[in-house]
């Protein structure tokens, strides 16, 4: 199964605040908020939603085409890192004038986050012709990116009959209902967390049933409460999260789940197994600082999956996936 992953490629600047953001909020003064937080550390890491997904897919033995826009600084080290991991970076556009996007995020002791995103070269993603970047796609994931770029890729897939997975996530905050409806209408898969799912309904004016009637399969992640898969036909599938996780940083966890789910689908596994793979990968990421710093040892990964979901699940995933 040939996958293309479109979306952001960025450098992450991750900081940890030992207290709670909520303790600094004065509810009747939110219209003139002015806050600063003294953080304990700063980690500069490789990131970006599309890069994180493509990296995790490579860890699971699947070489996907990464499609996005970056600055010339990407070629200093980041490209070699992804290439060595097994990601196909030939679909990456390098800007002549702008820096690679930057994600600056502070996480407090409750895993709440305050983040700022600088688009930089990502704004040139609208100049990427998906069909010129590659061909023969079985599925294109359209992740958070330059808004015009997301719309262009979605229209290309819809016009050419290429199955696509809609993953608007962070871009739902700015998008109006007409844009959101265009990004998700006709998607083979729709990914969101539970908050984003509610936001989609609020902004489009669609009910939950309306949303599901517009897409093939909807996948809603719920953090520590696991994930719900709503197939086009049949009853919802509930998959619990991995237990006993020692959370370090939640950044990139949703990306890793998407990669695990897609790896399962690409390997011919059903929705339940695919979601279980996603949850198992996500557990490794949340226990690690940085979105691409984790290790997926085959024996350890399968044992963890089997402990959570049973011996049959472990055997089926073992037979289907080639972890690297």
Give the pLDDT of residue 133.
Answer: 92
Q: Is the dihedral of CA 159, 160, 162, 167 positive or negative?
A: negative
Q: Which fold has domain 3-18+41-245?
A: 3.40.1190
* Structure-token pair, residue 153: 């890729």
Residue 18 clears pLDDT 90, i.e. is over it? yes
**Rg, C-alpha atoms of the chain:** 19
Residue range 181-208, pLDDT digits in tens: 999 999 999 999 999 999 999 999 999 9
Q: How far apart are CA 232 and CA 250, in angstroms?
A: 30
Mean pLDDT (whole number) for 300-317: 96
255 belongs to the catalytic site: yes
Write the pLDDT tens digit of every residue in 263-290: 999 999 999 999 999 999 999 999 888 7
Task: Give the model's pLDDT for residue 103.
Answer: 86
> Which of 103, 177, 182, 193 is closest to 148 using CA atoms?
182
Express each pLDDT in 158-187 by its tens digit: 999 999 999 999 888 888 999 999 999 999
pLDDT above 70 (res 324): no
Statement: residue 251 has pLDDT above 90: no
Exactly one of 146, 255, 270, 315 is catalytic; which is it?
255
Return the bridge partners of 14, or none. Answer: 43, 105
The half-sphere exposure of 323 on its side-chain side, counting CA atoms within 13 A, is 15
Under 8 Å CB-to-CB from 157, ≥6 apart: which residues?
130, 140, 142, 163, 164
Q: What angle do CA 297, 269, 59 make, to 5 degrees?
A: 25
């Amino acid at each position: 199964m040939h996958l293309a992953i479109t979306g952001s490629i960025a450098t992450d600047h991750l900081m940890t605040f030992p207290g709670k953001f909520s303790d600094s909020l004065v509810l009747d003064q939110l219209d003139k908020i002015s806050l600063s937080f003294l953080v304990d550390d700063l980690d500069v890491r490789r990131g970006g939603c599309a890069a994180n997904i493509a990296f995790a897919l490579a860890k699971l033995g699947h070489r996907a085409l990464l499609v996005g826009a970056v600055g010339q600084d990407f070629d200093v080290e980041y490209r070699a890192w992804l290439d060595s991991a097994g990601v196909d970076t030939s679909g990456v556009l390098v800007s002549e004038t702008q820096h690679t996007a930057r994600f600056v995020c502070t996480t407090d002791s409750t895993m709440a986050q305050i983040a700022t995103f600088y688009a930089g070269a990502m704004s040139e993603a609208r100049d990427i012709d998906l069909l010129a970047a590659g061909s023969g796609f079985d599925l294109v994931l359209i992740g958070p990116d330059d808004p015009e770029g997301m719309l262009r890729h979605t229209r290309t897939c819809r016009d050419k009959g290429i199955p696509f997975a809609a993953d608007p996530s962070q871009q739902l905050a700015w998008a109006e209902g007409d844009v959101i409806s265009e990004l998700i209408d006709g998607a083979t898969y729709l990914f969101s967390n539970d908050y984003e799912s509610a936001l989609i309904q609020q902004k489009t004016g669609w009910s939950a049933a309306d949303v599901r009637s517009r897409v093939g399969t909807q996948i809603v992640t719920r953090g520590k409460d696991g994930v719900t898969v709503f197939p086009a036909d049949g009853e919802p599938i509930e998959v619990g999260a991995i237990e006993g996780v020692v959370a370090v940083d939640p950044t990139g966890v949703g990306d890793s789940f998407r990669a695990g789910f897609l790896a399962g689908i690409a390997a011919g596994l059903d929705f339940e197994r695919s979601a279980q793979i996603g949850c198992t990968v996500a557990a490794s990421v949340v226990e690690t600082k940085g979105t691409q710093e984790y290790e997926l040892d085959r024996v350890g990964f399968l044992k963890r999956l089997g402990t959570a979901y049973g011996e049959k699940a472990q055997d089926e995933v073992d037979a289907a996936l080639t972890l690297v």
